[in-house]
Structure 1
Amino acid sequence: MELGVHDLVTINKGETAEQALKRTMRFVKNIEDLNYKRYWFAEHHNMPNLASVSPELLAAYAAGQTDRIHLGTGGTMIMHYSPLKIAENFKVLTALAPGRIDIGLGRAPGSGPDEIKALAEGRAQTFTDMYDKIDVITDYLADQPAPGFYGKVRAMPQNLSTLTEPWMLGSSGQSALVTAQMGLGYSFAKFFGIETDPDVFKLYRDRFEPSVFFDAPKVMVSYMIIVADTDEEADYLARPIELMQMGIRTGQRLPNMDPEEAKAYQFGPAAQALLEEYWAKRFIIKGSKETVKAILDDEISTLGIDEILVYAPIFDEEKRLRSYRYLAEMFDKI
């Protein structure tokens, strides 16, 4: 089982964006030392508590600070950008860090309608089907002729020693089937609160067609996981994160605060019911090493997972690193 990090670069209460970004780059190096395979940065716009607005730049900076770990985007929201520019950005990154660069291909906006307009500068979408856009991007990444007008140009630089590793971000049977037909890796972000049938992953595996990028299917699932010495401590550390998640659902943008401060907040009946649903459906997994390992073993067996990405914005930096270290120990990475 491979492990990775899915990071939204949460800005803690009382922390500046500069501090959060510097802390994150320290953390990437710590994660590499724990033998995690990859570190992905998300793309979200106009969210005051998140600093991961330009994941390609974060991946580029982190690549210069590390030696082995894969760096990438989880994901690049392709609707906002030109296929040529996306491909050339990642080809340059791949030339600088061969065999270490991933692109998570996201078809969602990662933002609201105002942000979409601002990013598009008022232009209409060229593609009505984002899968067609992904076809162009992956053709460019593979040095293959792209369809239509896009085939008149080539994405540079060409003939690199390795290829960017593309993963489709998805959550439905349709995305699983298309991903399989394209021969891409399939990444599912369960921590966003989206439930999916295990048959989706089976469909992807059964219908997978090898490509220049992958010769076999690869399933990755992202979870919010908090591991501590006891279940009670995990509950305590998770409280601010749960407040943030419930705040998103209710339109309240709560910051990531110290757990002591978070103790004073009480969930209403509706929020408490939703939170319990998150626990039951394993959108949030928390507990001691023994508790978390039992849950993850069941998820791995049920869904057929090859790799787990972890999002765990624990307020305290040392306890956050400890949580990731405990996960690495569970899967014999250290």
Structure 2
Amino acid sequence: MRAAAAALADALDPDSRARLATTLDDPAYREWTYLPGPRDGAILADMTEPQRDLALALLDTGCSATSRHSARAVIDLDIVRRQLGGGNPQPGDDRFWWRVIGDPARDDAWAWRVNGHHLAIHVTVVGDDITVTPSFFGSEPATVLSGPRQGLRVLTAEEDLARDLLATLDADQQAIAVTSDEAPDDILTRNDPVADDSVIARGIARADLRPDQQERLAALVQHYFGRTPDAAARDAWDRATRAGLDEIRFAWAGGLERGQRHYYSVLGPTFLLEYDNTQDDANHIHSVWRDLREDFGGDLLAAHYNASAH
């Protein structure tokens, strides 16, 4: 990560390098959004092909082998979205911004992010440790219905794994897990700097699931954790395990059939997952992983500041 961030900065012209860089005490450090619109940072659309390669190489360091393909697919899908909406964006007109926060060559604690419409990846580095949330992947459309990319689905497992679990619930379990017949229009925590889990319905606890259902719930959680490098994914699962897997709760809202507006959440003592597919006739996905302790570095940065002179 340090090498990739430094290589990108070195390759940019002075103006772009100035837009790329900021510091950890920047008030905007914890501001983020997944909506369309400009961001702070160096925009991918203005980069040369070699610079784009370096930017995407930095993105890859914050992703697993699987999720780096998903992240790049989200970037590509934004061009499709704009074309289907009547625009005429050309290949390479990618409205995603890179930001390096602090000096990766000199600072023990620093961060970086990639942010644009439907993609928000935030990585904080302290020594050899990293945190990787908020982690937001979206897809508009969820399934491309027309044009040369017809049939494309970018985020499949986010829906399919949850439906696998939902389909195994008996009537009594479903009565607890399905908290509303109406799905919310968006994820409930939106782009708040701090995820407020009090707004999340509790649903059914893992302790009330059969072993096969518990395995399906674990597969769903680990899919979100698996968006990140293996070490970070293992750390997130280890912390969830220590906090108590039986405390994890799964809640569903909205229709039960494919094509109907739907939403789910998975809430544990250390993390929150939210997913909705409600907009555009249930063809527009938002999915987010929030760490209730480590978003934007959280406890990791706090421990660093307590132990170091600043």
Normalised to the residue count of structure 1, the TM-score between the two structures is 0.24
Q: Which is richer in helix?
A: 1
Q: Which is richer in strand?
A: 2
Normalised to the residue count of structure 2, the TM-score between the two structures is 0.26
